[in-house]
Structures are given as structure tokens and as C-alpha cells.
Structure 1
Amino acid sequence: MKQWSKSLVASVVLLGTLAGCSSNDDEIKIAPLPVIQPSVEVEVNWEHSVGDGTQDYFSKLSPIVAYGKVFASDRAGIVAAFDTETGDQVWEVEVEDQGSIFSFSSGIDAQLSGGISAGYEKIVIGAESGMLYVLAQETGELVWKIQTDGEILSSPLLSDNKVIVSMGNGKIIAYDLADGKEVWSYQQDVPALTLRGISGLTESQGATFFGLPNGKIGGVLINDGRAIWEAVVTPQTGGNELASIIDVDSTPIAFGESIYAVGYNGNLAAIEIRSGNVLWKRDYSAFKSMTLNGFSLYLTTASGHVVSVDRRSGLEIWSQLGLENRGLTAPVIFEGYVAVVDFEGVLHLMSSETGEFVGQLEIDDDGHIAKPIVDGNRLYLQSKDGLLSAISIK
């Protein structure tokens, strides 16, 4: 088994550092790889390497499927497109390193970290260095790039002919998709102590919604950036330094008239979109994004439990504890099953109704951090060393 340090995202590394030295009694115990009797067989359809991946850096880089292609990138600046069916490479480019606005990380590589978004015949990706790149989806040709004044740690949102980015310094900025000119900006307050990472942006009813590092979820109008409301997911309770970290780093989910969000050291909440009123709250701690299917919300908690919750009431349907502390990705629904990948690169399939293990496949022992991507009957994964895999059920 790999050392546990290989499975930690930077968020958890930070928490461990803050906790200081611990006794043997406090040592994190990692669940062994479950031994199962699979009822579902999984196979790899094709694989390709995309640069050197993200290695052990914190990153939300994950592939995206659009225009019949899978787009993927590595931290250093390689961006590539592959045919979804055959896996044949369509194009590959390397975006230029422009240095960094941060003195401690200048000139090493492009530091791509925010994840890829697609729309309007373009793909967009941001970097820790503050660079924002817009490429033509058909050829990979650079359309424009701009240096922002903050780290871009989550996927941009493309809407209303705008590129909207959320930055580590608390800013949300909208740029004109045609030429990169700033349209509007919104500033949030950022606590002194937060997790490494920020929430992605979700669109609904003409607004974009996002988690905040102060335990809230907020929304602004896409047209002009005006704030509409903020709602408390997790209240500030004080206590020690670890207890004060209440970031909502997972990307909210919009469905119907509700927004669903979950925070670290806090709560899972359902919030009414129009008013910002909290409909219900339940005690869960998570920093990975959730997924929704039918009446169920699925999440991986900070301790590695996979949980199904009724979205109407917040009542727990089932909880799978067999992957505790195995550094799980966010869950996705794949061919009706709940899928996660752990720090050893093992794909786990669970029944969406009971949480029982039904399938298992080792993909790449370098491990995974990014959320898997589902498109039709294919699951796409990218490992920390850059291996892009297309998976299907036999």
C-alpha cells in the first residue's frame, strides 16, 4: 500500500498540519481494500497519458466531455482533446507559462488547476498563477488569455457569452467571452484560515451560486454581478483552529427550486433559490462535490463515508463505511450505480439503492483526486500521473 501521504489532498494536509503532533491513539486508520463478490464487471476501453498529470499538488483538474471529444490537461500546461469513442488524439497544445503573480511560485509551469469548462465552441481553463485561457474546441488554438489577480482553483462558468471565474482571494469576475474584457466583479470576504480550494459555480434562474469559505452559500446575477442573497450553511462556532474552518468548497447543486450545498466541519443544507431561506439542514462534513439522481443526493464525507440522503427531507437513506479514509473522489452516478475512486486508483461501484459494493477495478495505482466524468455509458477518469481512462460496464 502506498504511504497515506500520497492520498491526501492539500486540504487535508493543511488540517493535519494545524492539528500538530498527535498520539498513536489519534492516528488515522485507513480501511483495507474491501473484498467483494462483484455482480458487475467493469473494463477499460482505452487509455492515454496527458502530460505528467497533477502529481501530488492540490488540483481540481478533471476531464470534460463536449463536442464528441474528451478534453483533459495536466498541471504543466498541456491541454489535449480525444475522440470519445476511439480514444484517438484529435489535438494537443501547450499553453504558455506567464509566470505568477505570487512570488513563491513564479516561472515553474503553467500551474493549471481550475478544471476545464466548455461552451460556445470554446474550452476555458484557469491556473493557480491567475492566468485564464480560452481555446478553440476544434483545434486547440488560443483565442485569448488574460492575467487575473487571483488563483483560479475551480472550473469557470460559461453563460450569457461570459466567462465567470471564482478566485482564491474571494473575487468572482465575469469576462466577455469574445475578447476577455471585464464585465463585472464581486468581492467576498475570506477568513484568515481556510481549506485549500474554492467552490465551483452553479447556474440557475439567471444567477450563479457558489460556496463561501465563511460557511455560507451566495448568489449573484449573471447579467451584472449584483448579489441576491447569502445563506448560512454552517454557522461560525469558534473553538479551536480546526473547528473554525467551515468552508463550503463543494460545488452547489441546483435542482428545481432548491440549491443543495455541504460544508466542511458543518452541514448539508437545502436552500430555496428565490429567497435564500434554508429548507433543511443535516450534520455532514464534506469538501468534495455531490451528485444528485432522482430523489437522492450522494456525497463522500471528509472521513470517506459514501452517503445517500433524501433531497426532499435530508434524511439518510444509507451510508457505506467500508472506504473510510481512503481518499475518495466525489461520487458520480454511472449506469445506475454510485462510483468513486480511491487513493490507490481503485474504482468502486455501489448499489444506488443500498450502498452495497457491486463492482471493483484497479485503474492506476498512482491514485485519483479529480471527480470522475460520466457521458452516456462511459466513465472518464484522470489519475494524478495524467493517465486518462475510458471505462464501461461489460
Structure 2
Amino acid sequence: MRRQLLVTAVLSSFLLAGCASWFEGSVAAKPTPLADIKPIQALKVKWTLSQAASDGTFTPVYANGNVVSADADGHIRVVDALTGRQTADIALKRGLSAGVAVAGDTVIVGTLDGKLLAADRNSGKVLWEQSLTSVILEAPQVAGSMVVVRSNDGRLTGFSLSDGKQQWSVSRTQPQLLVRNTGSMQAVGNEAVMVGLPGGKLDIISPANGNTLWEGVVANPRGATELERITDITSRPVYENGQVCAVAYQGKVACFDAKGGNLMWSRELSSSRGVALDASKLYVTAENGSVWAYDRTTGRNLWKTDALKFRNVSGPAMLGRFVLVIDGEGYGHLLSNENGSLVGRVKLGSEGTVAQPLSLGSSALVQAASGRLSLLSIE
């Protein structure tokens, strides 16, 4: 019965995931042909690693010089980030519902039968296991001594990292229709967890007790039908230098003062792909594949490029001073942070990513729909 309900929920989320592109016309529209470019910056594939296919919920994490990833079959792999050499392969023999969190030598994952478990990442020994009210569909977040998870029923729960004991639980009301969300929760050190919610709301919570520190409204639902009123934050909010920024599907992109939650600015834009920040700018991929840059302080639009429009473009990630995006045909593109022009390109494969690349400074992790993991570098 539980498996049947899970399959129904997953199928429903996949259908709405298709809507996320369909609303903007990107399914019907012809992808913009790639124009020849004169490369200014070399973009290299440093290594690749074959893994099981991923639907976007199994995004890799970087921890102390290693890349740690999980797949639905219960395999957790540890890879040296510099060389791509696999150093550990743990077989939990449990079906997993989402990606992995890492805290030192401990990995934390959610299972398909609604459990949260922690294991030693070297031996694979299960350290503790706890029952959840529902499966989790995004990776847990570790904030200090706490593990925070969001289950499919909208409940946020905090567990002790040391022994797995539940410390608190908070329920969140969910609308009937949701855009598929593969990760919109992000820990900020030990002090806060940013949680993107349906209905365009952004919650900043305390990992110690689950209390809301402040709540911001990125966008308000609009429209006459349930589909038109979907305004979900389905990508991870970003924190940097006292500022929190997020974007909502069929909504807006907005930045808030991190201390008190005061809205600094917001602009109309629909995206389920995510945002990236550098010292002065915010970058975001719109639902139709256009890439935009805004001034972080004022929200003024600095540039927009349609060179990759309708190419199923990923969310942006910083690669040095450049902006990296991956398109649906498996091309990695470097954009100038100054004007959005294409300054570098590399072919990764025949399939595109299902998740926003993970920035590691002058390199970035890219995961394809096939599960293949690659490290791109400008060095």
C-alpha cells in the first residue's frame, strides 16, 4: 500500500515537472541553434564517473576534498575530487529516495520505506535509524549537531546527529498541486536552514528547535486556476554576505536582508532552475532558458542572453569569475559575468543535467540524467 502511494505521488510530481517547462512553451518551441563562438576561456572535463541514472534528487555533495554521491539502489560512492578516483563504495542494500548528506565520516540518507539512517562512510555500518512520517524527496541538511529533513507530507523534522533521536517536528500545509521539487532546502552553517516552500514563501528556521526566524514572500500565487496559481520555490535559496536570494516558479526572483528578513528587491521572473551569486551580481536561468543577471544591491537588470533559449538550460553556477550552465544536449557553456556573452563551451555527452551544477571555485560538479558525474574546470 505504501509503495503504491509512493509511486502515485512520484508520478504526479513528474507530470507537474513537465508542466514547469510546458507553461513557458519550451516543450513546443524549437531549441535555439548553437552559434559558433570564439573561445576566450578554455573549459575542460577533468574526469567523469559512471553511476546509476538520476532524476535530479541524487545530487552529489563535496566534503573535505571528496565527492560523495548516492543512487536509488543504495550505493554510496566516495571519489577523490582532484582525480576522480573512487575511494569507497558502500552498498546499504536499501532503496533510497534522495541524495546524501555528509558530516565528517557519517553519511545520512532517506530510504524508500520512510526511514532516515546514518552510516559510517568508510565501513558502511549503520549507526542509527529512525522512522519518518513520509519519504523524503530531497537530501537531508546537516546544521551543527542537527540533521534536518523535509518529508513528502510537508513536515520538517530535526534529529540529533549523534544518535538520531528526534528533537522537534513542524508541519507545513501544502497545496493540492506542486511543481516537482528536487531540493529547495539549504543549511547555512550551524545557525539557520533556508527552506523554499510552495506558494512562494521562504522560511528561515532554527535547526535547534525548528522555530521560524523569519519568513519572506518571494511571490504570491496569481491566476484563476490551480495550475496558474502554482508559485513554488523549487530550487535552493542562496546565502552570501548578509543576503538571502531565491526564485519562484511562475513568480519572482527576490533578495532579502539575512538578519531581519526585509525585502531588498524583487523582479518578475519564472524559474525552477535556481540562482547563483558573485560579489555584485545575481544570476538566474528563466524557465525558457534565457539567462539573466541582476545587480545584487538594487535588483537592476544588467544583462540577459537568449543564446540558449529553449535548450532546457540548467540553473547557473559560478566557475571562477564566469557563469556556467549546461543545456539539454549535454553542452557546458561559459558566460561572461560582465555581459552574458558565450566565452567557452565543451561537449559532455548526449544528455543534459537534471540539477544545477555544484560550484567548487575554479571547478564545478555536473551530473547528467544518465547519472554520469563530471568535473569541469577552467584551470
Normalised by the length of structure 2, the TM-score is 0.88
Shift of 1:279: 2.2
Q: Which residue type is aligned with residue 12 of structure 1? A: A
Secondary structure at 1:27 match in 2: coil
The alignment status of 1:13 with 2:18, answered yes or no, reads: yes
Equivalent residue number for residue 100 of structure 1: none
Does the aligned pair in 1 maintain the 2:243–2:258 contact within 8 Å?
yes
Number of corresponding residues: 366
Equivalent residue number for residue 119 of structure 1: 103
Q: Which residue type is aligned with residue 39 of structure 1? A: I
Q: Select which of 270, 290, 312 maps to 2:275.
A: 290
Does the aligned pair in 1 maintain the 2:330–2:350 contact within 8 Å?
yes
Equivalent residue number for residue 131 of structure 2: 147
Q: Select which of 331, 336, 358 maps to 2:316.
A: 331
The alignment status of 1:92 with 2:92, answered yes or no, reads: no
Does the aligned pair in 2 maintain the 1:150–1:167 contact within 8 Å?
yes
Q: Select which of 141, 166, 176 maps to 1:192.
A: 176
Gaps in structure 2 of 5+ consecutive residues: 1-12
Change in CA separation of 1:15 and 1:128 when aligned onto 2, cut-off 3 Å: farther
Q: Select which of 188, 200, 213 maps to 1:215.
A: 200
Does the aligned pair in 2 maintain the 1:62–1:372 contact within 8 Å?
no
Distance 1:161 1:45 in 2: 35
1:28-67 pair list within 5 angstroms: 28-50=29-51, 52-54=52-54, 57=55, 59-67=56-64
Q: Which residue type is aligned with residue 350 of structure 1? A: L
The alignment status of 1:303 with 2:288, answered yes or no, reads: yes
Distance 1:273 1:376 in 2: 23
Equivalent residue number for residue 5 of structure 2: none
Gaps in structure 1 of 5+ consecutive residues: 1-7, 98-109
Shift of 1:11: 4.5
Secondary structure at 1:214 match in 2: helix
Secondary structure at 2:18 match in 1: helix
1:163-312 pair list within 5 angstroms: 163-197=147-181, 199-203=184-188, 206-312=191-297
Question: 1:146-171 deviations in whole A, cap 9, x for unaligned?
Answer: 33122322232111311101223211
Q: Select which of 302, 305, 316 maps to 1:320.
A: 305
The alignment status of 1:69 with 2:63, answered yes or no, reads: no
Does the aligned pair in 1 maintain the 2:108–2:140 contact within 8 Å?
yes
The alignment status of 1:132 with 2:131, answered yes or no, reads: no
Question: 1:116-165 deviations in whole A, cap 9, x for unaligned?
Answer: 32223322233565333323234444323333122322232111311101
Distance 2:366 2:20 in 1: 27
Change in CA separation of 1:120 and 1:284 when aligned onto 2, cut-off 3 Å: same
Does the aligned pair in 1 maintain the 2:319–2:378 contact within 8 Å?
no
Distance 1:145 1:329 in 2: 34
Distance 2:172 2:86 in 1: 40
Equivalent residue number for residue 358 of structure 1: 343
Secondary structure at 2:45 match in 1: strand
Change in CA separation of 1:53 and 1:27 when aligned onto 2, cut-off 3 Å: closer
Shift of 1:376: 4.2
Percentage of pairs with the same residue: 28
Change in CA separation of 1:141 and 1:388 when aligned onto 2, cut-off 3 Å: farther
Distance 1:335 1:270 in 2: 22
Distance 2:61 2:342 in 1: 27
Distance 2:26 2:163 in 1: 57
Shift of 1:327: 1.6
Q: Which moved more, 1:319-328 or 1:134-143?
A: 134-143
Q: Which residue type is aligned with residue 177 of structure 1? A: L
Root-mean-square deviation over aligned CA pairs: 2.6
Question: 1:290-315 deviations in whole A, cap 9, x for unaligned?
Answer: 11110111111111111111111111
Does the aligned pair in 1 maintain the 2:96–2:109 contact within 8 Å?
no
Change in CA separation of 1:128 and 1:358 when aligned onto 2, cut-off 3 Å: farther
